[in-house]
């Protein structure tokens, strides 16, 4: 099999783990259960939001960035402009995100599509400039 077409299974497993965590934490909203009223329930909900849900979103967002970089590196070996190919994928993601947002508010796919568009100019920058922007050199 061609080396370029191999999937990185570890990334797929991590994405699945992050998505499962997001679904498990959001089950209350999906099932449309009432908001917690007791102080213990409110404290537990805050614990879930801060220590669990936000961590899964961070993992998923990090993997989105890694996936973007891998996609752009592998697109060099394909026919066509890699930016057009990525833009087409981001537009499809944005459409799915918009439609899903109509069904469930707070949906994140459209946000990922918007940030995916913002990643394109940073890909062309020097790695040192991107790193310094990240760590405030």
The overall pTM is greater than 0.75: no
Half-sphere exposure of 131 (CA within 13 A, CB side): 3
pLDDT of residue 1: 44
Q: What is the per-residue pLDDT for 75?
A: 84
pLDDT in tens, 2-35: 454 567 888 888 888 888 887 777 777 777 777 7
């Amino acid at each position: 099999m061609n080396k370029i077409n191999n999937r990185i299974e570890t990334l797929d497993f991590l994405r699945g783990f992050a998505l499962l965590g997001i679904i498990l934490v959001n089950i209350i909203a999906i099932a449309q259960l009432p908001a917690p009223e007791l102080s213990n329930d409110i404290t537990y909900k805050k614990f879930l939001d801060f220590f669990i849900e936000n961590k899964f979103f961070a993992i998923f967002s990090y993997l989105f960035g890694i996936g973007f970089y891998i996609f752009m590196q592998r697109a060099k070996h394909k026919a066509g402009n890699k930016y057009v190919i990525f833009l087409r994928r981001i537009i499809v993601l944005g459409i799915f995100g918009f439609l899903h947002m109509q069904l469930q508010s707070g949906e994140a796919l459209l946000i990922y599509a918007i940030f995916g568009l913002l990643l394109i100019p940073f890909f062309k920058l020097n790695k040192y400039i991107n790193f310094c922007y990240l760590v405030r050199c």
